Amino acid sequence: MSLKIIKKSKKSQARIGKLHTAHGVIKTPFFMPIATRGAVKGINSFEVEKKLKSEIILSNTYHLLLAPGMDILRKTRGLHDFMKWQRPILTDSGGFQVYSLGNLRKISEKGVEFKNPKDGRSYELTPENVIKYQNIIGSDIMMVLDECTEYPCSKKRARESMELSLRWAKRCKIAHDKLKLKKTELGKCASKQLLFGIVQGSIYKDLRKECAERLVEMNFDGYALGGVSVGKTAHNSYEVLDWVFNNLPYDKPRYVMGMGTPEDIIEGVKRGVDMFDCVIPTREGRHGRLFLWKRNLKFKISNSKRISNNRFQSSKHFYDTVNITNAKFKKDLSPINPDSKLPELREYSKAYLHHLFKTNEVLGSRLASLNNLEFYLDLMKKIGEDIKNGKL
């Protein structure tokens, strides 16, 4: 088994463990900084590893196919060497990105034909070549090709899409199993590459449960929940987690794709989620919004209050969000983040960061993104400590 459960909470479905991959062991639960095109925006690989101490990043097959392309990744023997990152990488197959193309893509039983919005060049993603591409990339964790439905959609539409995604998932599994039996361009890597199935079914409980059960029969290395961040409210998303996770193996990793406010992460962990990703830390950072721990308060994530529909809502009692472009920070000479482990965030002032944003200096978004990623990665450590200490 790739996942070893170290401790299970007595208060919730939360658990801590170790996920074994070709490029190292990752402590769960964990958050993956987004490196869609082979780079975390504004932050180089050495900083992500040495300063932020992230154990894994997420990249995207669709975007890497468009640029730099598979030829250059073959020559560099994968994305790890190309971007100088030697820890694990998860790659999404690109299903969500294809969904976003609208009229520029055509979906069929075979797969998806689409045009590059920038140059009009035609491409094709099939379950088989998505596995091939992710092997060339050298992903530690591969995702199957799936179709992401719009929200809201009819149950008939959700059923048809789910069935297509299941057929694609089976073809991905067959292609992956074949790949593990032969020597590929990346040698032994293929035998250690994990493949995750993706549970679809929109907001329909019976479809989500059925999809999960049928994916489990295919025996994937882990399971992801797709489509929960596409137009749905937190209420919808938490319900879907409750429906699905009782139908997934306890001893395999569980991943919720794209769901990532601090509150969402806490609620997800309570429901047994091991893996998260989201663009929020760097996207908000580029707009001058900072996540900061509240000072002089102990970190308490277990004081969520139960509200309607048998779900939980965490109060934002452990952090603040700050818009550094507000005029009140123009003369604020206090540190950007006095509690940070990074010297630049302790030494530079909020007034200086405000100035950087007002003068459109790229250093501003870089510093803000560093701050936010540090917050998210620290959040996962604190959650792990609370589970270990029996508080969550």
- Residue 185, pLDDT above cutoff 50: yes
Give the pLDDT of residue 285.
Answer: 98
Which is catalytic among the residues 140, 146, 221, 277? 277
* 143, 147, 151, 156: CA torsion to nearest 10: -130
Q: In whole angstroms, what is the distance from residue 263 CA to residue 50 CA?
A: 27
Question: Sorting pLDDT into bands at 50, 70 and 90, what band is 313?
Answer: very low
Can you tell me the mean pLDDT for 30-44?
Answer: 97
Could you confirm whether 277 is annotated as catalytic? yes
DSSP string covering 286-353, please? HTTEEEEEPTTS----S--EEEGGGEEE--S-SEEEEETTSGGGTT--SBS-TT-SSHHHHHSBHHHH
- Give the pLDDT confidence score for residue 96 in this predicted structure: 76
Q: How far apart are CA 220 and CA 251, in angstroms?
A: 12
Closest CA to 127 of 103, 153, 145: 145
Confidence bin at 214 (pLDDT 50/70/90): very high
Query: In this predicted structure, which of 45-54, 178-187, 189-198 has the lowest mean pLDDT?
Result: 178-187
Report pTM.
0.94
* Exposed / middle / buried, residue 351 (Cβ in 10 Å: 0-12, 13-18, 19+): middle
pLDDT digits (tens, 9 = 90+) for 272-300: 999 999 999 999 999 999 999 997 655 56
User: For residues 274 and 253, what is the distance between their CA atoms, to the nearest angstrom?
Assistant: 6
Alpha-carbon torsion angle 346, 347, 350, 356, nearest 10: -120
Given pLDDT bands bounded at 50, 70 and 90, which one contains residue 101?
confident
Structure confidence at residue 300 (pLDDT): 60
User: Could you say which of 92, 140, 264, 274 is catalytic?
Assistant: 92
Average pLDDT over residues 316-345: 95
- For residue 169, the tally of other CB atoms under 10 A from its CB is 26
Beta bridge partners of 59: 91
| Listed residue (244, 263, 387, 312) closest to 255, CA to CA | 244
CA distance 211 to 199: 6
The boundaries of every CATH 3.20.20.105 domain in the chain are 3-278
SS3 278: coil
The model's confidence at residue 150, banded by pLDDT at 50, 70 and 90, is confident
Of 317, 364, 360, nearest to 336 by C-alpha is 364
Round the average pLDDT of the chain to a whole number and report it: 91
* DSSP annotation string for 150-216: PSS--HHHHHHHHHHHHHHHHHHHHHHHHHHTS-BTTBTHHHH-EEEEEE--TT-HHHHHHHHHHHH
Residue 378 a catalytic site member? no
Report pLDDT for 310.
35
pLDDT score, position 361 = 98
- Residue type present at position 345: L
Whole-number Å distance between alpha carbons of 73 and 58: 16
pLDDT tens digits for 115-145? 888 898 999 999 999 999 999 999 999 999 9
Question: DSSP of 105-166, one letter per residue?
Answer: EEE-SS-EEEE-TTT--EEEE-HHHHHHHHHHHT-SEEE---PPPPSS--HHHHHHHHHHHH
CA dist., res. 349 & res. 302, Å (int): 33
CATH topology of domain 3-278: TIM Barrel (3.20.20)
